[in-house]
Amino acid sequence: MPPAFVLKPAGAAAALALLWVLESAAPMFEGRRGRAGHDLANVALGVMNAALVSLAFAWATLRVTEWARAHGFGLLRVLPLGGWLSTVAAVVLMDGWMYAWHRMNHRVPLLWRFHAVHHADAELDASTALRFHTGEIVLSSLARLAVLPLLGLSVGQVLLYETLLLPVILFHHSNVRVPPRLDRALRTAIVTPWMHWVHHSERRPETDSNYASVFSFWDRAFGSFRLRDRPGEIRLGLGIADERAWRTLPGMLLMPFRAHAATSAEAERRPGAEDRGGPHDLPHP
Ligand SMILES: [Zn+2]
Ligand SMILES: [Zn+2]
């Protein structure tokens, strides 16, 4: 069997290809221009981040999880759970951490500055699932190094969680017109496109909702669940004036340091953006 570092990119590529076909056949948001360039830039950023994580954090993750195991450290080792129950708890705990971390990314200005690169994409599709600024990846990897020993996850459980996460985030970012009934059924368990499109809305109260990654119950449990009756009417992105100009790999990498003026200038004259806490801006207030 090929190793995980071959299977994971191969699986992601296959899922992206399948979603590309579905997005072409039945898009929710129509009239896209320059889709190949948009997707290539997003994928390039994702590949770059994956390489960085493999080089800089895989070894450290292995070391901290092994240290926790050797010392009997972490919540999962204290809880009286054995076998598969422990594995289920590990996946749920990891997803709970992802929910909390995502909420922090919307609250803390420094974190938002990087996370906004993900939200700035005004033409959301499956490739947006790979569009995270390298700064966000580094910060989340560092935070995870502290959290993993506290939770007591093994490196195998981390890999299992990431294997579940990847197809779900590719799917819920996709621009596929998922039938309402199918979406409703799926979102009883997982985060679906109907949920995550709302998270990518230009309207701040909607952006600050639906933070969950894999399981949808986090948003229901913590009061951040939100839906639109007609999701096709959602205006996606952050209302950045020349958003298309920032879609290159260098543009996305520079965005947290340069986009402030461009964003605020556009947001100030855009009607309907002031629902709560003022218009979108970099950083988030
Ligand atoms: Zn977000
Ligand atoms: Zn997203």
Phi, psi of 74 (to 5 degrees): 115, 150
C-alpha 181/C-alpha 46 separation (Å) is 32
Instruction: Name the closest ligand to CA 236.
Output: 2
C-alpha 68/C-alpha 10 separation (Å) is 31
The residue-averaged pLDDT of 207-231 equals 97
Cα 79 to averaged position of ligand 1 atoms, centre (Å) = 31
Cα 129 to averaged position of ligand 2 atoms, centre (Å) = 6
The residue-averaged pLDDT of 155-164 equals 93
Query: How confident is the model over 220-273, as pLDDT tens digits?
Result: 999 999 999 999 999 999 998 888 889 999 999 999 998 554 454 344 334 444
* 27 SS3 class: strand
Mean pLDDT over the full length of the chain:
88
21-40 residues labelled b (16+ CB within 10 A) or e (exposed)? ebbeeebbbeeeeebeebbe
The confidence score (pLDDT) of residue 4 equals 63
The residue-averaged pLDDT of 33-57 equals 93
Instruction: Name the closest ligand to CA 102.
Output: 1
Query: How confident is the model over 58-103, as pLDDT tens digits?
Result: 899 999 999 998 998 889 888 888 788 989 999 999 999 999 999 9
The confidence score (pLDDT) of residue 204 equals 94
Cα 213 to averaged position of ligand 1 atoms, centre (Å) = 10
The confidence score (pLDDT) of residue 78 equals 84
Instruction: Name the closest ligand to CA 42.
Output: 2
Token output for 270: 């855009």
Cα 173 to averaged position of ligand 2 atoms, centre (Å) = 6
Decide if pLDDT at 38 tops 50. yes
Cα 199 to averaged position of ligand 2 atoms, centre (Å) = 7
The confidence score (pLDDT) of residue 273 equals 44
The confidence score (pLDDT) of residue 54 equals 86
Cα 3 to averaged position of ligand 1 atoms, centre (Å) = 31
DSSP class of residue 128 equals G
Instruction: Name the closest ligand to CA 172.
Output: 2
